[in-house]
Structure 1
Amino acid sequence: MKRKYLYTLLAPVLMFFYGCEDSLNTAPEGDEITQGTKEEVYANDPAKAKASVNSIFAQFTQYAPNYTALGDVTRHNDFGYPSVMMFTDANGEDMVMEVIGYNWANSSLDFSDREFDSNEAQIVWNDMYSIIYNCNSVIGSIDEETEETPSQFYLAQGLAVRAFSYWNLAQLYQFNYKGNEAKPCVPIVTHLNANEVALAGAPRATVQEVYNLMLADINSAIALLSDAEEAEEPVVRDDKRYVSLAVAYGLRARINLTMHNYAEAAADAQSAIDASDATPGTMEDVGKPSFMSVNESNWMWGIIINETDGVVTSGIVNWISHLGSLNWGYCNYNGGRQISKKLFNTIPDTDIRKGWFLDENGESANLNAAQAAQMVEVGYRPYTHVKFAPYNNEVATTTNSNDVPLMRIEEMYLIKAEALAMSGGDGKGALETFVKSYRDPSYVCNASSPEGIQEEVYHQRRVELWGEGMNWFDIMRLNKGVDRRGAGFINASVIFNIPSNSDILLWRISEPEIEANPLIGHGDNNPAAPAPEPVADID
């Protein structure tokens, strides 16, 4: 059976390296084209390299990409990387939702997604490695020493997104970097070993090995993008689906922050700010439902969704269908998504972000009359978010073509503040300046110790990045548990207080991968943990 299914996820790699889709592997007369010739073709015709790069970003969001893997069944929570964002937000404590038939995040809400034969386990694994495989196709097709400016730019795309993908995987399948460097993480599959892996499988690499690859990739990407963007005839991205130099610095800032390399993270966050043309959303900008389009001034990087994309024409199999309050979709029928009322109550009334959520009376000063009427008509409960605008700001629209945020400039200011505090700098001053300028003119940071300022930044991140698929990574890197007491969860069955070292926090490698990969057996997987036990709620 193993030979039949052996590392079936490598099919995309083989298709790109050896199949007809790439159209660069055989000459018209049938002769084999060498890798060197392939690199020459890319150098002479950058459009071919661009097409391969575009396949990376196309992989970020697709309609039911795991249809076959899930038994020829369309799962309505299967739409690419935003599925990972939805699952991880549901795992935490800050996004409240009801266990109900129309909620496609139920398995993440009760942690049954941690069963290695769950649909979610396959979706997460398949989606992240599919992106990696497309990155490997691009990286393996361009000479790493290229001096062709367009080739430098396209090679950097593959390297940066591969680093981003492994950064995600490392924090899903193992505890935080610091102190766990020698523990098993995930298999490393690159353009150099893809063929070997397809034939013989790959073991779990250590956390250190995975982070070494991440850093090597993102360092190379930064160097390449610096050369490409500063060349005599510069090559820059066409739109925000691509990684710019600023985004690459931002990715390295994330990696260094996760590794607790605080001085480096602060420097990278500042470099990202300096290199970016993005500016933080003003209080006027974010004092109304927004976060809908990459064209907003504070977006650095995002998934661009077109009206003709399958996730949109499906109507409901898309990220904003499950998340949005002001558009039509699953949220109209499952009670929507609320902020933890415990977290909401820590937001000062002077903070513009308090209006991102309905208050205890079901009201928000950020809404116009039509938006407020929509919230009443659907019957949303208190604390439901109104952060994300509907497509084209059309209330109750059935065209769910919202772009998906992957990085905003505000995150860089928060990384800078935390990292400065933890490396001996003025993190408190940096945090106060940012929050006062853009969110709450009355803000004062009362913390004085580095750890206290770090905790305050964590609080600010929980509010600022709510719903953007980032909170789980903070939980893991800061060794937080998941305490849902007092958050307002509807169902007593999902009120948990999970300690930071609980095995249930780790995702398990999916069963098909275990069966297919001869170098990872059942004993190599993360431990099977019992479902969390519900605890008594508190007011």
Structure 2
Amino acid sequence: MMYKRYYIILIVAVFFGMMSCEDLNTLPVGDTVTSDQKEEVAENDPAKAEAGVNAIFAQFSAYAPNEDALGSVRHNDFGYPAVMMFMDQNGVDVVSEDNGYNWFGNNLDYSDREYTSNEGQILWNNMYSIINSTNNVIGAFPADIEDPTGQFFLGQGLAARAFSYLVLVQLYQFNYVGNESKPAVPIITNENSNEAALNGAPRSTVQEVYDFINSDLTTAISLLQSAEEGGVTRNDKRYISLAVAYGLRARMHLAMQKWNEAAADATDAINASSAVPAQISDVNHPTFWSSTQSDWMWGIIIQETDRVVTSGIVNWYSHMGSFNGNGYSTVSEGKQINKALFESIADTDVRKGWWLDENKTSANLNEEQADFIAGLGYVPYTQVKFGPYNDKVATSTNANDIPLMRIEEMYLIKAEAEAMSGGDGKGTLENFIKTYRDTSYVVSASTPQEVQEEVFRQRRIELWGEGLNWFDIMRLNKDVDRRGGGFPNATMVFNIDAGSDLLLWRIPEAEIQANPALSESDNNPSAPTPDPVPDE
């Protein structure tokens, strides 16, 4: 009984009707198969192995995957993009009104940190569901596989698992340096999953989780490079390429403050990728809705027939978009940029037009777009960065692809890491911004720390709304200071100190109760929701 209870709570093995997972995971009579049997299935029927890989990425965007666990359909429950929005609403740069149409109000006021919160359950379940699918794929191939197709599939599983743990370790514990021995999250692998299901899994340390991530990514890089040399590459950008794997390891090394390694991985990602930074003419209008965009390295590809789309409103663009004809954003006042951050953007920077100015206008909008935005009465600083599906204003089809990694991020990682390791990060940053965003740009920073701070500002602007800013807040030990940010509700104006227990997510109550290796004392400390401060 404990096996079933723990397995369901930890892994959330509800695969939305996907037979692919069952193909690798069960025999016809329903008995669980061994790793050797999985390998035999993958070898004799590669289509089933491919289906298992597809199941990984299908879970990145799923309609209400936690309906059974939560007891109802929640309209903020749509896979990893929901997690991206949780993190952005926790921060200071994605501003929104706390009203009856905003499903992310609990993230705004940090009541999501209650270990009985729906958001805490969604986050935990979504990430471990992806991990479970990756383990199924990883267990289906021998580690020394020589077939290029098998190498590609195994590389997908390892890299996607590393991605999931890199997200988790940065949400459930503070930054790597100085916290290496502190508890992070349980490590569940294809080898220990049965033991974990029977006896539970304790929290591994931060060091152990990062070591595990590094091992997975290093192996994935080797496999994907070999597969590429063997002529096997991805069909589209939902899959992880060699360049994306380098990019993930660059993120990891950045979080670990291993500057030389981060710079090297970012450079390798740039060199291995076919992606190129978007030109000024590419982003001087609402865009960022298709993975075919030249600067996208990796993204969640959405089809019009996906359930998140046919639901109409239970999807990322419903909540984030400003141009859609059907969605929560048009009735919830939309999403705005932090006012102080907007004011820091030079008028010569094309990205100034990614948001409405104080007069509710943007130079990036054509007449039709401007009229639509004006007609909905959006407030100043509302985003017009993310265009509508197929560039069709007022479309009711929210089938926008969602960026997970763009090449611009690699240049920004490279600049920060070079500056912090004694290289010419200042030159890298200035050349990048001057070439692709603002021809008048000059870096005034004179020390490595000042360059790092300027890169942080540029990341806040460039990657706004893409679910990455929270990781920067945590790794750079930033306060969550919303003062002067233009938050419309005085009750949401906080100044939370870096290192506050409130910044860490708590392991859900259901997991604590079901996991024999965890007790209440193993959880992150409880912290009260923050008190508002004067908006000075």
TM-score (norm 1): 0.96
Native 8 Å contact 1:43 1:148 kept in 2? no
1:25 and 1:339, CA in 2 relative to 1: closer, same or farther beyond 3 A? closer
3-state SS of 1:300 partner: strand
After superposition, the C-alpha distances for 1:392-422 in whole angstroms (9 at most, x for unaligned) are 0010111000001000000000000000000
Query: 1:405 and 1:244 mapped to 2: Cα distance?
Result: 15
User: For residues 80-229 of structure 1, what are the structure 2 equivalents within 5 Å?
Assistant: 80-229=79-228
Is the contact made by 1:97 and 1:489 (CA closer than 8 Å) also made in structure 2? yes
CA 1:358–1:30: 2 relative to 1, 3 Å: closer
- Closer/same/farther in 2, CA of residues 509 and 252 from structure 1, 3 Å limit: same
Conserved 8 A contact 1:49-1:154? yes
Of 254, 259, 268, 1:257 maps to: 254
What is the rounded CA distance, in whole Å, between the counterparts of 1:530 and 1:297 in structure 2? Answer: 44
Q: Which residue of 2 aligns with 1:448?
A: 446
| Aligned mates of 2:200, 2:437 — CA distance in 1 | 50
Provide the C-alpha distance between the structure 1 equivalents of 2:344 and 2:215, rounded to a whole number of angstroms: 40
CA RMSD in angstroms, aligned pairs only: 1.9
Answer whether contact 2:27 2:33 (CA < 8 A) is retained.
yes
**Aligned partners of 2:181 and 2:114: how far apart in 1?**
24
* CA displacement 1:471-504 (0-9 Å, x = unmatched): 0000001111100000000111010000101111
After superposition, the C-alpha distances for 1:456-477 in whole angstroms (9 at most, x for unaligned) are 0000000000000000000001
| CA 288–206 in structure 1, closer or farther in 2 if over 3 Å, else same | same
Residue 438 of structure 1, aligned match among 436, 439, 462? 436
User: Is the contact made by 2:21 and 2:55 (CA closer than 8 Å) also made in structure 1?
Assistant: no
Describe the shift of the 1:522–1:307 C-alpha distance in structure 2 as closer, same or farther (beyond 3 A): same
Map of 2:286 onto structure 1:
289
- Residues in 1 aligned to 2:438 and 2:79: alpha-carbon distance in whole angstroms: 35
Residues in 1 aligned to 2:201 and 2:316: alpha-carbon distance in whole angstroms? 32
1:190-239 residue CA offsets vs partner (Å, 9 max, x unmatched)? 001000111111001000000000000000000000100012xx100000
Specify the alignment match of 1:277 in structure 2: 274
What's the secondary structure of 2:299's corresponding residue? strand
Q: CA–CA distance in 1 between the matches of 2:285 and 2:390?
A: 13
Q: Which residue of 2 aligns with 1:302?
A: 299
Can you list the C-alpha shifts for 1:356-379, whole angstroms capped at 9, x where unaligned?
000000000000011101111110
Alpha-carbon spacing, 1:210–1:342, altered in 2? closer, same or farther (3 Å): same
Q: Supply the distance in 2 between the matched residues of 1:403 and 1:365 (Cα, whole angstroms).
A: 24
8 Å CA contact retained: 2:60, 2:80: yes
Compared CA separation, residues 378 and 467, structure 1 to 2 (3 A): same
Aligned to 1:287, the other structure's residue is in SS state coil
Stretches of structure 1 that go unaligned for 5 or more consecutive residues are: none
Query: 2:21, 2:133 within 8 Å by CA — same for their partners in 1?
Result: no
1:268 corresponds in structure 2 to 265
Amino acid at match of 1:402: N
CA distance in 2: counterparts of 1:519 and 1:356, whole angstroms: 48
2:54 counterpart of 1:57: no
Aligned amino acid, residue 363 of structure 1: T
With over 3 angstroms needed to count, the CA separation of the structure-2 counterparts of 1:33 and 1:58, relative to structure 1, is closer
Pairing partner for 2:318 from 318, 321, 332: 321
Which of 417, 420, 423 is the equivalent residue of 2:418? 420
Amino acid at match of 2:481: D
User: Residues 11 and 504 from structure 1, CA distance in 2 versus in 1: closer, same or farther, beyond 3 angstroms?
Assistant: closer
Relative to the length of structure 2, the TM-score reads 0.97
Alpha-carbon deviations, 1:334-390, whole Å to 9, x = none?
Answer: 100000110000000000000000000000000001110111111000000100000
Q: Distance in 2 between matches of 1:20 and 1:47?
A: 9
**Equivalent AA in structure 1 for residue 39 of structure 2:** E
Q: Name the aligned partner's letter for residue 36 of structure 1.
A: D
In structure 1, the partner of 2:534 is 536
Of residues 341, 353, 373, the one that matches 2:371 is 373
Q: Work out the CA distance in 2 between the residues paired with 1:124 and 1:465.
A: 21
- Structure-2 change in CA distance of 1:112 and 1:220 (3 Å): same
Distance 1:87 1:270 in 2: 30
Q: What's the CA shift for 1:49?
A: 1.1
Q: CA deviation at 1:162?
A: 0.4
Q: 1:322 to 1:428 in 2, by over 3 A?
A: same
Aligned residues with identical type, % of pairs: 63
Shift in Å, 1:38: 3.0
Residues 291 and 298, structure 2, Cα contact 8 Å, conserved in 1: yes
Quote how far apart the aligned CAs of 1:105 are. Answer: 0.6
**1:47 CA displacement:** 1.6
Contact 1:13 1:137 in 2 (8 A): no
Question: Does structure 2 conserve the Cα–Cα contact (< 8 Å) formed by 1:432 and 1:445?
Answer: yes
Q: Distance in 2 between matches of 1:362 and 1:504?
A: 35
Q: Which residue of 2 aligns with 1:475?
A: 473
Q: For 2:513 and 2:279, how far apart are their aligned partners in 1?
A: 51
Number of residue pairs aligned between Structure 1 and Structure 2: 533
Letter of the structure 1 residue corresponding to residue 459 of structure 2: R
Q: Which residue number corresponds to residue 48 of structure 2?
A: 48
Aligned positions of 1:379-528 closer than 5 A = 379-528=377-526
Aligned partners of 2:12 and 2:128 also within 8 Å: no
- Is 1:9–1:130's contact at 8 Å kept on the other side of the alignment? no
Shift of 1:448: 1.1
User: Would the aligned equivalents of 1:167 and 1:255 in 2 still touch at CA under 8 Å?
Assistant: yes
Distance 1:193 1:257 in 2: 29
Contact 2:184–2:204, Cα closer than 8 Å, also in 1: yes
Amino acid at match of 1:399: T
Q: Is residue 7–residue 513 contact of structure 1 (8 Å, CA) maintained in 2?
A: no
Native 8 Å contact 2:493 2:532 kept in 1: yes
Q: 2:308 aligns with which of 293, 296, 311?
A: 311
What's 2:338 paired with?
A: 340
| 1:27 Cα deviation after fit | 6.7
Q: Distance in 1 between matches of 2:204 and 2:221?
A: 25
Q: Which amino acid aligns with 2:76?
A: N
